[in-house]
A and B are shown apart, each in its own frame.
Chain A
């Protein structure tokens, strides 16, 4: 909705005000639970169990964090989550920008077909069907007891979206760039990493954020793959185990702290990338 300089009648003004109130309420409803959890993690369990709509704690305390840290191996979980998220991110960035580039630039029958297969599978990936075979496969490859298997599998199953975004973005870059580079004597690979890659910044930021999120939030895969090995668990699996912490009643305070530990790094990464990110998703999806 673009601003205009037209003069509005009082009726339009009222209608507009109602619209804004409604939309703002919707936005507040979306963001409120997030703040409630983050601030709630500084409340005591008894204060949490009183309920109510007070968002800020009456007494601020970091006890929940200390307790959560002691009850679960958070230092290790955090390290594992970082390895997992960064691993998926780096691997996805490499594979998807390379593939996206050639899917956009090289046109022959095989390339279109392969691209179609990638995208088609992106839509139907139900995940559930292949977890068990994946585990069998990892055992066969002797990869079932390290996080690399989870990184490879996560990238292999999630990359179609990123290829889709990367291809869409490269499509919007003029072909003359490639031709000029070639005339200047660049090889195919040099053209990619000297000329194209630097221009991919927005879509790289987008893919980086989305794939970091994917790795950071991966739950079912690491759950199955780290079943017997506590030292390999990421935060998602660790936080879920907090559900059983405490004395039978739900220890909401500890879970809130665990949840906050799991979301704050993600939010920071998001804020770091978001300047590029917002445009990247939209451009890739709409022009793709």
Chain B
């Protein structure tokens, strides 16, 4: 009987499916796919943003592949991503352990507060972080001086500028990943913890031998999301260093934007964008494949 009803409604279901998907599909096709196709087309032209648009074949791609500043930005992006990944996992995980603890009074309030920076636009985050790390009147330098250290030139030293960006990036994302971990921790059965404590397992031991391994699926999601977000880091940098000092915080998306919007080489920028997207897809796919064994995304 179930089978017959299925057959009867099969067509109606498919029809309803497309009807329900239509609004999002329409928006997706018009404002995502079409521009993507257009930018692939641009990548084969010398489009300058106004009038000039001639088909020039693979010239843009050839030029990019011999452009050292392209490789430098890409390399910088990879280093930035790899260095920051451990923090993107560890800090939210520790915070989640903190806010799910029954020992801590008012942990819901703490959770709420930790999430607040996630709500900020990159601009507000930028103003805040720039202020904290400002050379003369910033809080960080003030504290360093109080502790008898020399204040640091956060915005002039390439390494320190990268540190500031990294802190900012973790600051605005920690709350979100923390929530994912909170969800994961709440899904772990309480009996496991009871059994562990009966067996005489200490808090730290329980955390590293029960909580962390069981959170592996969540960790995979956090890794995947933060890798992609780190590779694409742009708005935050616009709010803080604008890619400087020099080009020391110019990551790949920044590079593409400046080629297009500042130097009016839209064809060239589109080609770089296409190449970078392909690289990102490959990285995401590898990560997805590697982690699928443990995680259900």
| A128: contacting residue among B218, B234, B281, CB under 8 A | B234
Cα distance A255–B131 when bound, in Å? 10
CB contact under 8 A between A53 and B139, given known A30-B175, A34-B116, A282-B186:
yes
* Chain B binding surface SS class: helix
Q: B256 to chain A: which residues have CB within 8 Å?
A: 126, 128-129
Contact with B along A184-217 (1 / 0, CB 8 A): 0000110010000000000000000000010011
CB contact under 8 A between A286 and B183, given known A1-B206, A15-B204:
yes
CB contact under 8 A between A155 and B27, given known A123-B228, A259-B128:
yes
| A30: contacting residue among B20, B174, B204, B284, CB under 8 A | B174
| A267: contacting residue among B119, B142, B174, B266, CB under 8 A | B119
Shortest Cβ-Cβ A-B pairs, 6 listed: A282-B183, A51-B137, A156-B31, A129-B273, A217-B121, A156-B27
Determine the residue in chain A with the shortest Cβ distance to B10. A108
- 11 extra interchain contacts, Cβ-Cβ under 8 A, other than A27-B113, A236-B123, A256-B131? A4-B194, A51-B141, A95-B27, A99-B25, A129-B35, A129-B277, A130-B273, A137-B30, A156-B30, A219-B123, A286-B180
Most A CB within 10 A of own CB, among B23, B119, B274 = B119
Question: Are B100 and A1 in touch, CB under 8 angstroms?
Answer: yes
Question: Are B97 and A23 in touch, CB under 8 angstroms?
Answer: yes
Question: Are B184 and A286 in touch, CB under 8 angstroms?
Answer: yes
Cα distance A163–B174 when bound, in Å? 23
Interface on B for A, CB 8 Å cutoff?
Answer: 12-14, 16-17, 20-21, 23-25, 27-28, 30-32, 34-36, 38-39, 42, 49, 91, 94-95, 97-98, 100-104, 110-117, 119-124, 127-129, 131-132, 134, 136-139, 141-143, 171, 174-176, 179-180, 182-187, 190, 193-194, 197, 202-204, 206-207, 211, 217-218, 221, 224, 228, 232, 234-235, 238, 253, 256-257, 260-261, 266, 269-270, 273-274, 276-277, 280-281, 284, 296-297
Question: Are A1 and B211 in touch, CB under 8 angstroms?
Answer: yes
Shortest beta-carbon distance, B245 to chain A, in Å? 17
Q: B206 to chain A: which residues have CB within 8 Å?
A: 1
Q: Flag whether A111 is at the interface (Cβ < 8 A).
A: yes
| B16: contacting residue among A53, A189, A288, CB under 8 A | A189
Q: B186 to chain A: which residues have CB within 8 Å?
A: 282
| A15: contacting residue among B21, B100, B203, B217, CB under 8 A | B203
Q: Flag whether A10 is at the interface (Cβ < 8 A).
A: no
Cα distance A130–B39 when bound, in Å? 6
Q: Flag whether A121 is at the interface (Cβ < 8 A).
A: yes
Q: B179 to chain A: which residues have CB within 8 Å?
A: 278, 281-282
Determine the residue in chain A with the shortest Cβ distance to B256. A128
| B273: contacting residue among A24, A126, A192, CB under 8 A | A126
Question: Are A34 and B128 in touch, CB under 8 angstroms?
Answer: yes
Cα distance A220–B123 when bound, in Å? 11
Shortest beta-carbon distance, A193 to chain B, in Å? 11
Q: A49 to chain B: which residues have CB within 8 Å?
A: 136-137
CB contact under 8 A between A31 and B114, given known A128-B257, A285-B221:
yes
Cα distance A95–B32 when bound, in Å? 15
Q: Flag whether A133 is at the interface (Cβ < 8 A).
A: yes
Question: Are A1 and B32 in touch, CB under 8 angstroms?
Answer: no
| A270: contacting residue among B27, B116, B276, CB under 8 A | B116
Most B CB within 10 A of own CB, among A96, A118, A123, A127 = A123
| A159: contacting residue among B27, B42, B193, B296, CB under 8 A | B27
Interface residues of A in 150-174 (CB under 8 A from B): 152-153, 155-157, 159-160, 163
Q: Flag whether A263 is at the interface (Cβ < 8 A).
A: yes
Most A CB within 10 A of own CB, among B14, B21, B217 = B21
Cα distance A278–B132 when bound, in Å? 29
Cα distance A1–B205 when bound, in Å? 11
Q: Flag whether A71 is at the interface (Cβ < 8 A).
A: no
Question: Are B253 and A126 in touch, CB under 8 angstroms?
Answer: yes
Q: Flag whether A274 is at the interface (Cβ < 8 A).
A: yes
Cα distance A202–B281 when bound, in Å? 32
Q: A125 to chain B: which residues have CB within 8 Å?
A: 32
Interface residues of A in 224-282 (CB under 8 A from B): 236, 239-240, 252, 255-256, 259, 262-263, 266-267, 270-271, 274, 278-279, 281-282
Cα distance A72–B276 when bound, in Å? 38
Q: B119 to chain A: which residues have CB within 8 Å?
A: 213, 217, 263, 266-267, 270
Shortest beta-carbon distance, B7 to chain A, in Å? 13
